[in-house]
Structure formats: structure tokens, C-alpha cells
Structure 1
Amino acid sequence: MSSPFPGNIATPYTPPFNVVRRYFIAATVTFILLNGMMLFSYQYLQGFHFQPRLLAFVHMAILGWATLIVMGAMTQLVPVILETSLYSVRIARWGLWLYLAGVFGISGHFWYFAIKGSGMISSAAFAFLAVILFVINIAITLLKVKSMNITVAHIIASIFYLASVATVGFILSINLGYPFINGSHLKYLSLHAVLGFGGWFSMIIMGVTYRLLPMFTLSYTYRTWPGWTAFWLVNIGIWGIVVEFLLQRPFYSSVLIAIGLFMFSYQVVLIMRGRMRKSLDIGLRHAMLAYGYIPVAALLGLYIAMSQSLPVIKQRFVLIFGFTVIFGCLTFLIIGMMYKIVPFLVWFHKFSNKVGKEKVPLLKDMFS
């Protein structure tokens, strides 16, 4: 099946660059802070995962780094993909500050384990409201879609899971200070993780890949059935886990998610086989590393879901899984795509109107 995905990442439909730029800058600053915190508090990167410092690290990484930069990228790319204007630039602009207040509030309260009282709940409420506003903004923009394709399907699924994981997270923040949920808080935390890693991040990684990877590698003709198969397997697997969670049974449906992620890896192979641009620049090399970690993360997640091993051994695999997903899959892919997206956006907004009038730098000259 032919699958042309050529295009541009800046069109008349895109929002003002200063809006998207703030997301990227805020996420980058958070990432630097995160690495500084881990460097000087490395002793907390071990042991049981539900401990104050480690929870702060995870939420800084997931909310302040990965999710924040993806939100900025979606604000830029969704209008391009749909060939329509973003519903509300104002929501995108002011939602960022609300979100940052929530993220740093959550991370700070976890750092000191100040989970009682209104502080944690207020911070979680800020982040939750910002996420819901973002989802509404993207969802209303999606209503203008003219035709369904594999990327649009993944974006729709991703924002649904983002809203779901934010809702569960907000409920859990209330439960920390004022317990009201029957059963173990940690069991609900596992559902929170499945919706986040298996739903939100897997859907957006796959969807963005199907749009950007062919564009950057000049790959125009390849079969797309592995991508669609991955989409359905991962989604069916997630809903299967939700049912198994409610029935208090092992997460056997995680097998479907793992197979789906392997099918996605096969789709990436097909795209790369058909590429016209044979050499890989620094951005694509980062992306390839990220794609290489995805099957590893799938196997680790499957082991954690199915294993009956001793808690100490299983806990070690939970930490390895977390590092693989956050710093292997997500961080390498984000860095790789930022090497491709940011230089072009800066060049487009600073030099595109000067082409033919004066000497302008090439894209490769935009970074060293």
C-alpha cells in the first residue's frame, strides 16, 4: 500500500512561534534541572519505586520534560497535519503557565513527601486543568479533520489516554492526603502507569513517527498494515488490562501491547528500508536509538506484568523499565526530533522572508 507522508512542519496554519518556543524552552530547562537533581541525589535512584525523591524524579521527567515538550510539538504539528488553524492560541499560551505551576508543585511536594493537606491536591489540580484544556484545544481542532489516516487515529487515541492518565493522577493525589479508595494505592498506581506509558506515550510516539520519519528520510512508499496492527493491538491490550484490573486478575493483556510494539518496530524498519535519504544525521541517529529501546521496554514491561518472582527482583526490573522508557525511548526520540524540528522552525521564522534578498544560513548551520 502506498503511503506518502511528505510535508512541512511550518505552514500558514501553525501558531505563533513564540508560543511553541516557550514549551520547548520550559521543557529543556526542566530537563537540565532534572539531571542536576539526579546527579547530586543519585543515591535515591534505587530501591522501592514509591519513595519521595524517586517520585519527584519521575514526575519531573514525565510531566516536566517528556509530556511538556510533546505538548509543544503537538501544538505546532497538529495544525500542519490537519491543514487547519489551532482552535485557541490563547489556551496554548496560558495553559503552559498553569501546567508548569502544577508540575513543579507536584514534584516539590513529592520531594519533601508533603502529601497531606491541600498543597499537593492544588498542584495536581493545576496540572490536571492544564492537561484538560490542552486536550480540549487539540480535540476541537481535530473536529476539522477532513479524512482519517493512521497519524490522526493515533493523535485521537493519545489525547484520550492523556486525559485518562491525568484524571487518574488527580484522583490518586487526593487519595494520598485523604484516603478514600478501597484497596492498595500502589495497584491504582500501576493502572496510572499503564495509561501513561502504554496509552499516552506509545500512541503519540507511533503517530508522530508515521508523520515525521517518512518526511525526514524521504520514504514515500511502504506497507502500513504493521502500523495499523500495532494501533489495534496496543489499544485492545490497554483495555484488556483495565478489565483485568477491575477483576483483580494478572495483566495477561500486556502480551498484546508487547506484540503491538514489536509490530510498530517492524513498521519503522519498512519505512527505513524504503528511504531515499540513506545517510543518517545526528537527529535520525538519536531517533534510531529510541526505536531500538522500544522492543527492550516491551519485553521488560511484559516481564513485570507476568512475573511471579520475588518482590525485590521484580522491583529492580521496574526501575530498569522506567529508565529504559524515560531515558531510552522518550529522551532519545525527543532529542532526535528536536534536532530536526527546532532548527527548521527558527530558520523559518527568522530567515524565510529573506531568501533571495540576502545571504541566509543553511539548516545545517543552525547548530553545531
Structure 2
Amino acid sequence: MIGASISRWTMSYFAMALAWLFVALALMVARVGFPAAHLASPDTLVLVHVVCIGWLSLAMCGALLQFVPVLVAKPLYSEKWALPALGLLTAGLVALLAGFLGLGGRLPAWHWLLPVGAVLLTAGFGLIVVDLGLTAWQRPAGPARFVLAGLASLCATVTFGAIFAFAHAGWAGSIGETILASGVPLHAIAGLGGWLTLTAMGVSYRLLSMFMLAPDVDDRNSSWTLAAGVFAITVAVVGGIFAIWLSSGLNAVLSVVAALGLATIALYGRDVSGIFRSRKRRQLELNTRMAVLSFVSLAATALLGVLLILTGAFAAQVGAFVFLVVFGWLSGLVLAKLYKIVAFLTWLETYGPVMGRAPTPRVQDLVAEERASKWFVIYHMAVWFGTLMLLADQAWAFRAASAMMMIGIVGIIREVIRTRQLADVQSPLRLPDGACAPHLLFARS
């Protein structure tokens, strides 16, 4: 962790993100949103934003607050902005969800909540973008470039989202209505493909190298991967806006984006394979083994996308495709790395101050991998089963898969809490003289 201290609020971001993930799975079990409702329905909008903002974005922001300083060996620009940003993002998401529920008739039709939510989310993400962007810009090389590209994509995602929110409330005029009618795919690509995927790729380079004792990815290789990804997002956003303006449709733009996306995945697979081949740690830890399952889901996503396009079924099965992207690839990788990050930061916070002055456990002593592994396996098996059930249009079986996912997530959350509580550390080493037990939700100053 050279060049960076422990982020005080990373655990708070993780806790809030996991809570939203549990809410999302509960909604799916309760038949709120797709596939029980149409993809464009207000209920599905609730589910999508709970997952993408509440779960994935908060988890990603929490991880970046800790690891962007590591990537550039510089301190975070402003640690003080992290907690206000979390408050703004939480309040903004709640307001946005209430607005969507109003659109669907589940709450009073207070459509003004949508613009309010958009403004709060814009302010929260704005603090994150400035804080992380100014930090990463001090040394924009290697994985930090992926983070900068991801933050730029986040700006595009938030801009589209704000326009949509104002349009739903009737405050965006004819231009806003036009963008709302055609721009949803661009919003999704910028968010899932740019903000979440490019950022996850960049962070995974550093974490995989760090935890497997492998050399960093060659800058020339990662530069090609980043260039393909950035080109894909640029074509989607800029080309898509021109296509909407010219009323020419998005098919040509989306075809180019799909080809570039496949190239990005292939290049990323080459980079990750290189890390695995050059690693010094031959026996893989649980977080790395589970990350491999997320890479399997990413490869399956690419294959599924190609097959759906070739058979002309992509539009009909886009829900299954997005489900595998969100829960197989992105959520699978985030859960695997979150499990390790919590243990790593807990060890640094608790035992770092007494290193060399008292016997201390290893990072691996804070976790029980054999016990935890079954929850990850249950989760991934449920995601793959759920994807197949969506493709087969078996809504009842998809609900069963969602319940299985929830069981896996509850088990993983329990393991994370045990790690934070030092529950699996043997008593002679648990709290040596001078060490303080960590708080569950934040790091002690």
C-alpha cells in the first residue's frame, strides 16, 4: 500500500453496496421488475438502478477510494469528500427510486422526485469523479488510465441519466423526449461497458498482480485493450448522439460497438492470461479462483452476444444478456475482490501498527476459505442457471435462481462480517498488545 493510507470510508461503501444487492435480489424473488415486468417498465427501472447504482457503483467507488492512491502512489486528493459523496448518492438513489415507483403507480406520482434524485446523484458522482480524477491524473499510467476512462464514461452515464430523469418529469422539452426515446442503449453502454467494465478491468490488473505476486501487465498490451474499449464507448456515445440527431437509427452504431467490445474482451483475456502465466504464487487463493468464474461469465457473455446477434434473437433476449453481464461478470468479480480487499484492509488496520513489535497473523488467517467457497459456488451456479431460465422464458425457475443467489450472498456477507470481526483469528494472535479491533463500518483514524 505504498503511497496511500487506509481509506476511512471504504467499508461503509461496501456495506451499503451489499445491502442494496440484497434488496435487488429480494425484488427479483418478489417478482418486481424483469422478467415479471417489461424491460422498460418502472418496476424494471427500479431494479436496474438498485443494481447498477446501489450495488455496483457504490462498491466500485469504495474500492477506488482505496486503490486509486495505490495505483499512482499518491494520497487521495480529498479524503473528506468520501462520506458526503456516499450521503448524496444514497439520498439521490432513494429519491430516484421513489420517482420510478410513482411512475408505476406504487407511490404517489411525485415526478419531481426524479429530477431531485438526478441532481443529488450528479452531485455525489461529481465529488467522486473530481476526487478520484485529480488523484489518478497525478500519474496517469498503467491501470490508472482505465480508471480515468471509466470516470469519463461515468460522466456520460450520469448526463444521459439526468436527461432521462428530467424528461420523465416533463421538464426536458422535445430534445429530452427524443433522447429518452432512443438513447437508453447509449446510457447502458456508457454505464455497464465504460464506467463499470473499463474500471473493473483496470483495477483487476493491479489486484491480480498484487495478490498473485505477478509482474504488472505490459503497458503496450494494456494500451491496446484500453484503446479498443475507449473507442467502443466513444463510438457509442458520440456516434449514437449523431445518429439520434440525424434520425438514422442506432443499428449501425451498435454493430460497430459490438465488434469493438468483442475486441476489448479478447485483448483483456490475453492480458489476464499473461498475469496467470507469470504469477509466482502457484496455489490460487479463493478470491482469485472466484475471479476466474467471473472471467468465465465474461467469455460466456461474449459468446452469448454473438449467438444472439447471428440468430436475430438479441432484442428478444437482451434481458438474459444483461443479467449475465451484471451478475456473472461484474458482480462476480466485485464479490471476489471485495472478499479479499476486506481481509487485506482489516489486516493492515489491525496489525500494521504492531508489525515487528508483536506476533501477528497472516492475511489468510483472517478468513476461512474452505467454508466461504461454497457460498461463492452457490452464487455463480445460480447466476448461470438463472441466465438459462431467462433464455428459456421460465420465470418461475428464474425466481428460484434468484433465491439461490440470495442464499449465496447472505453466506458471503456473513463471511465478510466475520473477517471484519477477526472471528476466525486464533486467540493468541487475535489482538496483540497495541492492536485495536476494527470497527465494522469504517476504518479507525
1:330 aligns to 2:353 (yes or no): no
**Residues 194, 169 of structure 1: CA spacing in aligned structure 2 closer, same or farther, 3 A cutoff?**
same
Looking at CA atoms only, which structure, 1 or 2, has the larger radius of gyration? 2
Structure 1 Cα separation of the partners of residues 284 and 181 of structure 2? 42
Larger deviation, residues 257-266 vs 232-241: 232-241
**Residue identity in the other structure for 1:98:** L
Secondary structure (helix, strand or coil) at the match of 2:156 reads helix
Within the candidate set 235, 256, 267, 1:253 is matched to 256
Q: Which residue of 1 aligns with 2:51?
A: 61
Structure 1 Cα separation of the partners of residues 331 and 200 of structure 2? 11
- Per-residue CA deviations over 1:108-154 (Å, capped at 9, x if unaligned) read 33244367631111012111110011101112223422xx4221211
Where structure 1 has 5 or more consecutive residues not aligned to the other structure, the ranges are 1-7
Q: Which residue of 2 aligns with 1:24?
A: 14
Larger deviation, residues 155-164 vs 294-303: 294-303
1:266 aligns to 2:256 (yes or no): no
**Residues 165, 184 of structure 1: CA spacing in aligned structure 2 closer, same or farther, 3 A cutoff?**
closer
What is the CA-CA distance between 1:272 and the residue it aligns to? 0.7
Q: Which residue of 2 aligns with 1:165?
A: 157
- Per-residue CA deviations over 1:37-74 (Å, capped at 9, x if unaligned) read 22223674345311122221111111001110110111
Structure 1 Cα separation of the partners of residues 289 and 151 of structure 2? 28
Confirm or deny: 8 A CA contact 1:64 1:103 kept in the other structure: yes
**Residues 47, 320 of structure 1: CA spacing in aligned structure 2 closer, same or farther, 3 A cutoff?**
same
Confirm or deny: 8 A CA contact 1:284 1:336 kept in the other structure: yes
Confirm or deny: 8 A CA contact 1:287 1:337 kept in the other structure: yes
Secondary structure (helix, strand or coil) at the match of 1:253 reads helix
TM-score, normalised by the number of residues in structure 1: 0.88
Q: Which residue of 2 aligns with 1:130?
A: 124
Q: Which residue of 2 aligns with 1:364?
A: 364
Confirm or deny: 8 A CA contact 1:116 1:176 kept in the other structure: no
What is the CA-CA distance between 1:186 and the residue it aligns to? 4.1
1:275 aligns to 2:269 (yes or no): no
TM-score, normalised by the number of residues in structure 2: 0.73
**Residues 210, 120 of structure 1: CA spacing in aligned structure 2 closer, same or farther, 3 A cutoff?**
same
Q: Which residue of 1 aligns with 2:103?
A: 113
Larger deviation, residues 177-186 vs 284-293: 177-186
Structure 2 Cα separation of the partners of residues 54 and 182 of structure 1? 20
Q: Which residue of 2 aligns with 1:193?
A: 188
Q: Which residue of 2 aligns with 1:151?
A: 143
Structure 1 Cα separation of the partners of residues 220 and 358 of structure 2? 47
Confirm or deny: 8 A CA contact 1:120 1:173 kept in the other structure: yes
What is the CA-CA distance between 1:297 and the residue it aligns to? 2.4
Larger deviation, residues 104-113 vs 185-194: 104-113
**Residues 182, 99 of structure 1: CA spacing in aligned structure 2 closer, same or farther, 3 A cutoff?**
closer
What is the CA-CA distance between 1:182 and the residue it aligns to? 5.0
Structure 2 Cα separation of the partners of residues 45 and 122 of structure 1? 28
Structure 1 Cα separation of the partners of residues 306 and 82 of structure 2? 36
1:319 aligns to 2:319 (yes or no): yes
**Residues 200, 47 of structure 1: CA spacing in aligned structure 2 closer, same or farther, 3 A cutoff?**
same
Where structure 2 has 5 or more consecutive residues not aligned to the other structure, the ranges are 369-445
Aligned alpha-carbon RMSD (Å): 2.3
**Residues 125, 295 of structure 1: CA spacing in aligned structure 2 closer, same or farther, 3 A cutoff?**
same
